[in-house]
Structure 1
Amino acid sequence: SGLVWDQLGPYLSQVGISFDRFMDLGRQRPGDPRERLCTTYAALRLADQSVGVSRLHGAVSRRLWKDAWRGLPETQVPIGSVTNGVHMPTWVAPEIAGLLSRYVGPDWWDLDPADGRWHAVHEIPAADLWAVHGELKRRLFAFTDERAETPRELDLNALTIGFGRRFAPYKRANLLLRDRARLAKLLRNSKRPVQILFAGKSHPADQPGKDIVAGIVGMAREEPRVVFLKDYDIALARHLVQGTDVWLNNPRRFLEASGTSGMKAGANGALNVSILDGWWDEAYRPELGWAIPSGATLDRQDIDDVAEAEGLYRLLEREVVPAFYDRDEAGIPRRWVEMMKASIRNVATQFAARRMVIDYFNTAYGPGARRVEQLRLLPDWGG
């Protein structure tokens, strides 16, 4: 409490709040002098609006912080949600943007999700979209020549899975590596091969995260169809989300607040294969990608890992790989390309930064500004 007084004492006096009253705002049990200040409780009680960054994150936050409003049922805890979005002109490949400009309109990035012009995404010829995707894949592979930990001759025709993000342990970058023999069957299938591109960094003080990186690098040195890409940055991330066939995301459920890499990939036509967490919990539809089965409770993480790795292997073996290699006489995976269109149509609209900013204005900043204006119009109570 001494540090709090040193930093905030003059301000509290200026605004007329006693020190004890302020400390109570940051306590789970107001009035208990033994409890230290929790800045999260203080922020939640002082904020005009509190939101999670996805619907599921909002629900998890209401459960975690319901004690800040004792007596309220969890469903009435005043924490809402505004799902994150990404700046589409930054992350959508110029070639994909060109198709959208031609079929949807040059202002595609500035259209409302409900605008009827978005239906024209499904009019893009499958051959054109598949050709553009092939060019983006070639560009990615050319870029990986500069960044691969171990040089590899990647196969343009092989199903290519991308995984690029922070290597925080809860994101489980190594989940797919749990059963090496089963993974090897996927990778080394001569008729339907799979290759995996990993990229990411761990915090220097995060030893478990660094161990995961080391394990994947070791696997990449042994297995030709596993590649670890060094020096993860925006340029590498952009190539990955634009050029991979599948975007893999397998965090421990309820620990991913939102995630945005899958939004970037999905808007470029990559199909998401993900745990139903963060943004994907509300975005998932069978026509857009796949949901990794999860019965996560977080009580036994080792059991969750085994079950979800099994679900991921089964999903790849029985659904994802067969769908990618199901080709017509022209060599085009028609069902896959239709899923690509659905992904672009839905992700580029519902998970754009444009929609996010509008949601923040409508749910938080707009109402807050109106309340402030109403207070200004009140008569001078001291007059």
Structure 2
Amino acid sequence: MEFAVDQALKIYSGGLGFLAGSHMKSAFALNQNLIGVGMLWKYGYYDQDRKQDNCMEVEFREKIYHFLVDTKIRVSLEIAGKTVWVAAYYLAPEIFNTAPLFLLTTDIEGNDFETRDISYTLYDSDAATKVAQCMVLGIGGAKVLDALGYTPKVYHFNEAHALSAAFYLSQKGLNREQLKQQLVFTTHTPEEAGNEKHDSQFLYHLGFFAGLSLDEVRSLTGIQDSIFNHTLAALRVSRKANGVSRLHGEVSRLMWGNFEDICEITHITNAQNKTYWADYQLEESRKKNDYPAIASRKKELKKVLFKTVADQCGKLFDPEILTIVWARRFAGYKRADMLTWDTERFDKLLRNSRYPIQLIWAGKPYPKDETAIQTFNKLHYISHLHSNMAVLTGYELGLSKLLKDGSDVWLNTPVVTREASGTSGMTAAMNASLNCSTFDGWICEFARANENAFLIPIAQGNNVNQEDMEQLFDLLENQILPMYYDQPDAWAKMVLTSMHEVGDYFNSDRMATEYYEKLY
């Protein structure tokens, strides 16, 4: 549903898109026999701005891309009894150094306003429109491949959004075993309740099953009750599936293990494209173990980031001061505002003259998630009280790169086991920023406390939020700040260790190779 390949192509929301973009860049670099099929969102996800009172504004602005090529291919599918036309646009490999990418849109002549609307905004909040989006991606995507004359050996469903393609392929005459040979599936959701479910009749009347009867769907997926679980269906029609970190693979096998007839679930740990994300000078200095050069370059990069802070917030940050960044999608379980829960301790931290600190937050909530938007706004209003605290808007690829280049510490605070993988800390580490994190997702495969990262110990009591918050403050006050200012040699050693160890394994070249060899 989303690919983040360049700041200029705004068809993504966050981590899932960043991951798909890195995969496409590595597939290109490795010359893999792979193409991507996605959606061309007219308004993108949304543009994050501010209202007159500075609270967050969600804006939808039309995007026009002159570097995309209209393939002139038009295919149709039936959605809720109406013929919907789909066009395919092409992103050539040389534009952004990606594997070939085909992007689908319904915003074309021949469709009425209602059907044009299907490809307007990523993850539409209306259930029928969201399912229609999945149908365009799945059924429409498979039909576009047919129209191109491509006969893929393997279709990879990255999340269950494209699942309707399985029913289209079955309707073309593939039996279940033949279908399974062609399908592989990646799940990104670590909680059963977070997986998409809909009433089977609702899906049937929309045309989600591509002309198959409900009896045929039940026979194919083994789902007999009235609620259709998209992930469960994908696990039953695929040859093989994977979670996106070692821990997530274990969680997924536990989560789905009681269901009969699912495919094998392995894991392929997420990674990010180092060529795209790593600052060239930092990387060259890392290869030489030249920490003074890293420290010097880091201050230059902090100055660049701080221009954005000054522009957006009217605050002048100091490159000599330890700068901590929390930046990712705003969602409740990620606990963006954890540090502000203890007002007194937070205030003391920001006013510590012996160990000064600068804090930056950024990230986009889902536009209909009022709780997450309130958290974003609350942080912004608190920032008015502190000249060394900033909350930035517009967290997309460009700002993400600036923040990773300019941070000294990358803060990650999800409730443990709720984060399938996470990847932002990987690219921060590539740019000489130390991770400070709860022990979840990819961090479990990377971090060694006080050697290459700072770890918040796993909460042992009943009040996880309180315990995690207190442990985080303890880490900042007693380890991170004193080390940065009083033990520069220890800090240098830790930064170099982190940069060396995030290197090859968390570079998406390894990930793309594993997908090709283990899954495809």
Cross-structure match for 1:117: none
Structure 1 contact 26–38 (Cα < 8 Å) conserved = no
Amino acid at match of 1:89: T
Determine helix, strand or coil for the equivalent of 1:22. helix
Greater shift in the superposed pair: 313-322 or 240-249: 313-322
Structure 2 contact 309–316 (Cα < 8 Å) conserved = no
Give RMSD over aligned pairs: 2.2
**Aligned residue-pair number:** 319
Higher strand share: 2
Q: Deviations over 1:321-347 (max 9, x none)?
A: 1111124xxxxx111111111111111
Q: Deviations over 1:363-382 (max 9, x none)?
A: 111xxxxxxxxxxxxxxxxx
Greater shift in the superposed pair: 246-255 or 180-189: 180-189
* CA distance in structure 2 between the aligned counterparts of 1:168 and 1:186, rounded to whole angstroms: 24
User: Residue 146 of structure 1: CA displacement?
Assistant: 2.0
Greater shift in the superposed pair: 136-145 or 316-325: 136-145
Q: Deviations over 1:135-188 (max 9, x none)?
A: 11122112322232xx11212221110111111111110011111211222221
The answer to whether the aligner puts 1:256 opposite 2:419 as a matched pair is yes
The answer to whether the aligner puts 1:42 opposite 2:239 as a matched pair is no
The correspondence for 1:206, drawn from 336, 352, 369, is 369
**Alpha carbons of 1:10 and 1:213: their partners in 2 closer, same or farther (altered >3 Å)?**
closer
* CA distance in structure 2 between the aligned counterparts of 1:318 and 1:254, rounded to whole angstroms: 26
State which structure, 1 or 2, has the greater radius of gyration over its C-alpha atoms: 1
Instruction: Please report the TM-score for the alignment, with normalisation by the length of structure 1.
Output: 0.78
The correspondence for 2:481, drawn from 312, 321, 343, is 321
The correspondence for 1:171, drawn from 302, 326, 334, is 334
Cross-structure match for 1:377: none
Identity of aligned residues (%): 34
Structure 1 contact 126–334 (Cα < 8 Å) conserved = no
Cross-structure match for 1:69: 260
Amino acid at match of 1:356: M
Amino acid at match of 2:227: R
The correspondence for 1:352, drawn from 507, 512, 518, is 507
Higher helix share: 1
Determine helix, strand or coil for the equivalent of 2:432. coil
* CA distance in structure 2 between the aligned counterparts of 1:227 and 1:346, rounded to whole angstroms: 30
* CA distance in structure 2 between the aligned counterparts of 1:357 and 1:260, rounded to whole angstroms: 15
Amino acid at match of 2:401: R
The answer to whether the aligner puts 1:279 opposite 2:442 as a matched pair is yes
Cross-structure match for 2:110: none
* CA distance in structure 1 between the aligned counterparts of 2:298 and 2:492, rounded to whole angstroms: 10
**Alpha carbons of 1:265 and 1:185: their partners in 2 closer, same or farther (altered >3 Å)?**
same
The correspondence for 1:56, drawn from 247, 250, 257, is 247
Determine helix, strand or coil for the equivalent of 1:173. coil
Q: Deviations over 1:17-50 (max 9, x none)?
A: x8536315545xx6xx544322211110111111
**Alpha carbons of 1:51 and 1:34: their partners in 2 closer, same or farther (altered >3 Å)?**
closer
The correspondence for 1:295, drawn from 459, 465, 471, is 459
Amino acid at match of 2:304: R
* CA distance in structure 1 between the aligned counterparts of 2:433 and 2:420, rounded to whole angstroms: 21
Structure 2 contact 221–237 (Cα < 8 Å) conserved = no
Cross-structure match for 1:115: none
**Alpha carbons of 1:336 and 1:67: their partners in 2 closer, same or farther (altered >3 Å)?**
same
